Amino acid sequence: MAISPARKIAFEILLRVESEGAYATDLLHEALGATIRREDAALATEISLGVLRRRGLLDFLLARQLKKPVTRLDLPVLVALRIGLYQLRFLEKIPARAAVNESVELVKRARKSSAAPLVNAVLRRAAAESTTLVEQWIPRETPRSEHLAILHSHPAWLIDRWLAQIGEARTVSLLEAGNHPPRLSCVLHDASKRAETFAALARAGLRVEDGSLLRDAFAVRGGSPSHTAAFRDGLFSIQDEASQAIPLILGVRPGDQVLDLCAAPGGKTSPLARAAGSQGLIVAADRHVHRLRAMEAQFHRVRLASVSLIELDASRPLPFSAPFQKILVDAPCSGTGTLARHPEIRWRLAPENIRELRVLQLAILLAAIRQLASGGRLVYSTCSLEKEENGDVVEAALAKSPGLRLAPRENVVRELQPHLAAGISAEPLIDARGYFRTLPGEQLCDGFFAAVLEK
């Protein structure tokens, strides 16, 4: 029996995610070139990311059928079982026979033919009970966080944190958002070319929707925008709306000297450079040379020639002789605000990683503060929801930096408001402390945090 291209691609991607620590979205971008049919690309994406989002639940269901823990299965066998079960449980348009038989063929193709009868038997039993509610198999005495962990496929330790910090209703909303495909959001680089850009995307067969927060944002459905002529011509970039908002609150003005630390992949650098204009100075730094090269290619696509790229470790004293008026610190973080977009993160992250990241984040922020000019402004941001990486880092930096203060809340609101879409208020996005926050399930974007600091 032939295996569909979509399932072959998903199988290989999921194997690499588990065995190499790769990221599914990067692998999908590599695999889904222009020669792949749109239907196959859509199914490969749905299966790859869907299996990663629902992995905890899938393994719970598989454990009921197996005589040994799922972790003792050979990886190709486990991946094939997850792929088959995901289709049976979550993809109503896929015939059960196709889901079962092609998973069996995937195992054979991986030279694990001896496991083919097991895969066939487990998935046939799973198909027979695919409409049964999972709740009836969860023991009544299961703690609430573990119950939610099974149903929503997130680690129980992370759910415990969120329950304590934001309550059950908001936690459940966050978990549900983490298990659904996020919007594919984009940013216009030239608002005067909005009609031209949208017409080009429509001709390519994509459906365009208005942004949910920002004036120059939009979302697309029905295909890959990166394969369009409008993308290649630099008319827009693909970027989550919360991520788009971060550089806007820095308030760069024409002629400013701007430092973008931890700048890769460069999506936040572009608006900084456009705001500073030809008379400004933009320095974008990252510690990885290959990421700087990728940024250079990105800037060439969007026709930005004014950015100076430099390799450096931002946690060490910075090598600049002159201060900068504006600095963006988009710090490396746990990424817990992006679990719908990067679902593998939830299975790799451990509590100690958050503590380790806090040390690195504080070192980077303090190095940046020392480089900030008197009267300057700095934005510290993460795509994390964890207080240790956000407010705790900012408060620690303030305690160590005399003369530094949080920007007044009304100033942050005033800076962001002009960039928002008609009818959208900045007020709900800025908390009482003046921190910018978004939360999946409450906004149609990733979860981001930002603090505006002034010297």
Identify the CA nearest to 291 among candidates 330, 266, 261, 264: 264
CA–CA separation, 225 and 203 (whole Å): 12
Tokens of 93: 């348009």
Q: 307: how many CB neighbours lie within 10 A of its CB?
A: 22
Strands 207-210, 257-261: pairing is unpaired
CA–CA separation, 77 and 187 (whole Å): 41
- Residue 383 annotated as catalytic: yes
Q: 114: how many CB neighbours lie within 10 A of its CB?
A: 11
Query: What is the location of CATH 3.40.50.150 in the chain?
Result: 241-454
CA–CA separation, 76 and 154 (whole Å): 23
Distances (CA, A) of 293 to 131, 262, 297, 330: 49, 14, 6, 19
Q: 452, 398 in Cβ contact below 8 A? A: no
Identify the CA nearest to 238 among candidates 223, 207, 222, 217: 217
Query: What is the location of CATH 1.10.940.10 in the chain?
Result: 5-137
Check if CATH label 3.30.70.1170 holds for domain 184-238. Answer: yes
Amino acid at 37: R
CA–CA separation, 305 and 322 (whole Å): 22
What is the predicted pLDDT for the residue at 67?
A: 78
pLDDT digit string (tens) for the chain, length 455 residues: 689 999 999 999 999 999 999 999 999 999 998 789 999 999 999 999 999 999 999 999 999 989 788 999 999 999 999 999 999 999 999 999 999 999 999 999 999 999 999 999 999 999 999 999 999 999 999 999 999 999 999 999 999 999 999 999 999 999 999 999 999 999 999 999 999 999 999 999 999 999 999 999 999 999 999 999 999 999 999 999 999 999 999 999 999 999 999 999 999 999 999 999 999 999 999 999 999 999 999 999 999 988 999 999 999 999 999 999 999 999 999 999 999 999 999 999 999 999 999 999 999 999 999 999 999 999 999 999 999 999 999 999 999 999 999 999 999 999 999 999 999 999 999 999 999 999 999 999 999 999 999 99
Q: 355: how many CB neighbours lie within 10 A of its CB?
A: 12
Distances (CA, A) of 398 to 359, 362, 364, 406, 449: 15, 10, 13, 8, 17
CATH, range 5-137: 1.10.940.10
CB within 8 Å of 179: residues ≥ 6 apart = 53, 54, 152, 153, 340
CA–CA separation, 185 and 218 (whole Å): 6
32: Cα separation from own chain's centroid: 19
Q: Architecture of domain 241-454 in CATH?
A: 3-Layer(aba) Sandwich (3.40)
What is the predicted pLDDT for the residue at 372?
A: 98
Amino acid at 368: A
CA–CA separation, 349 and 272 (whole Å): 31
Of the candidates 186, 262, 333, 383, the residue annotated as catalytic is 383
Identify the CA nearest to 451 among candidates 401, 17, 421, 220: 401
CA–CA separation, 48 and 342 (whole Å): 11
